[in-house]
Amino acid sequence: MSLDVAALRQQFPILSRQIDGKPLIYLDNAATTQKPQAVLDAIIDYYTTCNANVHRGAHQLSDEATRRYEQARDTVARFINASVREEVIWTRGTTEAINLVANGLAQRLQHGDEVMVTEMEHHANLVTWQQACKRAGATLKVVPINARGELDEVEFANLLGPATRLVAMPHVSNALGTVNPVKTLTAKAKEVGAWVLIDGAQGIAHGDVDVQAIGCDFYAFSGHKMFGPTGIGALWGKRSVLADWPVWLVGGEMIQEVTYQDATWGELPNRLEAGTPDIAGAIGLAAAIDWFDSLDKQAIQTHEKALLASAHAQAEEFDGLQIIGTARNKIGVMSFMLDGAHPADVGFILDRQGIAIRTGDNCAQPLMNKLGIPGTARASFSIYNTMDEVDALFSALGKARTMLA
């Protein structure tokens, strides 16, 4: 079954915009995806029909808001195949979800313990563990990548040991597009008794995520990279692990009993969700999942692979363009360098032609330093992009090359 991209695009109001009189070509999907009308409608409907705080009110609006909010949790649990709904913890996004885990682990780490990350980490999954290790006197180990931008699986296994407490790695690299074999790597980490956290920010919208099949202990992701709102995300964690995980924030809602001298914490998921949550965000994320689930996943993956294949083929024929990241298994991210041009200049020229890309270090400075480059230009594709837009990207890059020569 093929994807009707033209019909799909009609569901995204922002794609009708023009930039400097030119049709918007949005190729910055690894930073954030655009939102279909179904998501916008769900958010507006919440605010216009049942805006109230959840779990607390003794009135109908609060009851309705609570029901929609908790139904959103059910939707996320189903989408990622959580064993129970209480394993889904609302956060502001992937970064906060990782910090929640790291804050708790830092209280349990001891001198001599080890945490493993990779050379392809986003800062959110590197600095967080770096600082946790510093606080605890633990050691941070880094798994290298090869010239194609793939993890060195032999070295991954070599770095594991009895001191490894946790392995944190991306499902998909935001800078390179590399898809990591997280199920295989998780199994290796489990052989030494380590916890495993998967940074799923880039992986969540590009295929079926089954946390039970992966076998990890934690999976973190953001709503805004899978057609949902910004400011909402989730941490999935095994109930057996989260049940006594050190609390992240304290305050309202997560309390069981309070005196002036002390407090005790409630049950999952409340114990890890202090304060008034992003109710509209959770409802919007559930709408995004329902909308995404209504599409043919095989058709989506086929379309995205075709977009990337076309981009790579044209890049190979484009004089002076170097692709950064050529993993054998990757999703729709093409990071590149244009000879003699700073990525920021390339991005500026493309923007004047209506093409939105990302430029810079992609929040992966250590990776860029390893590669010996200041940063890249990055075109990232999603389901609403077209082959014509890929062609337009390379036409615009031809103009940029001429202007910057």
Helices and strands in the chain, H and E counts: 14, 17
Same domain, 257 and 307: no
- Is residue 363 among the annotated active site residues? yes
- What angle, rounded to 10 degrees, do the helices at 279-293 and 37-49 form? 140
Whole-Å CA distances, 130 to 114, 198, 264, 269, 334: 11, 16, 30, 27, 28
pLDDT, residue 75, reads 98
Same domain, 184 and 285: yes
**Mean pLDDT taken over the chain:** 97
Selected catalytic residue, list 50, 133, 216, 363:
363
Same domain, 370 and 270: no
Quote the tokens at residue 62: 């609060």
Residue position matching structure tokens 């060195």? 152
> Nearest to residue 108, comparing CAs of 273, 241, 264?
241
The yes-or-no verdict on residue 40 having pLDDT over 70 is yes
Same domain, 110 and 159: yes
Which helix (H) or strand (E) segment holds residue 146: the answer is: none
pLDDT, residue 339, reads 95
Phi first, then psi: what are they for 243, rounded to 5°?
-55, -35
Q: What angle do CA 104, 262, 100 make, to 5 degrees?
A: 15
Same domain, 177 and 312: no
State how far the Cα of 81 lies from the Cα of 87, in Å rounded to an integer.
10
Q: 158 pLDDT band (50/70/90 cuts)?
A: very high
Give the mean model confidence (pLDDT) for residues 392-402. Answer: 97
pLDDT, residue 1, reads 62
Q: 57 pLDDT band (50/70/90 cuts)?
A: confident
**How many domains does the chain contain in total?**
2
Quote the tokens at residue 175: 């800078």
Q: What is the pTM of this model?
A: 0.97
Q: Which pLDDT tens digit goes with each residue over 199-247?
A: 999 999 977 899 999 999 999 999 999 999 999 999 999 999 999 999 9
* Residue 405 covered by a domain: no
pLDDT, residue 109, reads 96
Which helix (H) or strand (E) segment holds residue 167: the answer is: strand 164-170
Q: Which domain range does residue 339 map to?
A: 5-31+296-400
